Amino acid sequence: MQFFGLRKLEQRTQIISAGGVNDDDALALFELGETDPEKRWQRLCGVHRELSRLRRDDHRAVRTVIKRERWERELEREVDEACQREQQANKDRLIDLCFAPLHNQNMAALFGGGGYGERMAEMLHCIKFDLPLDDLLKRTSPEKPCPAPVKNNPTESGPIQPNPTNFSNGHAPELS
């Protein structure tokens, strides 16, 4: 025995559970079968509750998708920025390596030149570019040149003090 509209009711129930419900579907479900106003009202309240839950679930799913897309874009942007920072750091390092010989010559001169100045400039170069220092530390080099001792300035005098015998009024100071 086949009931009028049962197949249609099953199809619409499947549509509702899939989340593709509109007002016409809800009205068709409401109108099927019942003639008693109380039962129709209970059925309408049930359908309304189910539709509201389905719509909330659908909206929640949409919000979740939007949040995930935002998070993925943010993550992609952060990865791009990290790559750009790394590329810039590599460029800066290569530029520093290109200017290193000139910088090393200046540093050697600042350290007094000669073997000691060259060794100190090379040591700073190795530290700056994370190069091994083992060979550099094992090598012997001339000691640091001692600077010439500072000569005393013969024109230097002690601190300036007032002359106790010559006051502007001509009196000698009183000693206590």
**In which band, very low, low, confident or very high, does the pLDDT at 2 lie, cut at 50, 70 and 90?**
very low
Are the C-beta atoms of 16 and 32 separated by less than 8 Å?
no
The DSSP 8-state label assigned to residue 172 in this structure reads P
pLDDT class for 47, splitting at 50, 70, 90? confident
In tens, the pLDDT along 147-165 reads 555 566 666 666 676 666 6
Mean local confidence (pLDDT), 21-42: 69
pLDDT for position 138: 72
Contact 128, 136 (CB under 8 A): no
Mean pLDDT highest for which of 1-10, 84-93, 121-130?
84-93
Give the phi and the psi of residue 37 in degrees, each rounded to 5: -60, -35
- What's the half-sphere exposure (Cβ side, CA atoms, 13 Å) at 23? 0
Contacts of 139 (CB under 8 A, 6+ apart): 119
104: which residues sit within 8 A by CB, 6+ positions away?
A: 118, 121, 122, 124, 125
pTM, rounded to two decimals: 0.44
Three-state SS for 165? coil
Range with top average pLDDT, 11-15, 58-62, 152-156, 170-174:
58-62
Neighbour-count burial of 5, counting CB atoms closer than 10 A to its CB (0-12 exposed, 13-18 middle, 19+ buried):
middle
C-alpha to C-alpha distance for 88 and 128, rounded to whole angstroms: 17
- pLDDT one-digit tens code per residue, 114-146: 888 888 898 898 888 888 887 777 765 455 555
Whether residue 26 has pLDDT greater than 70? no
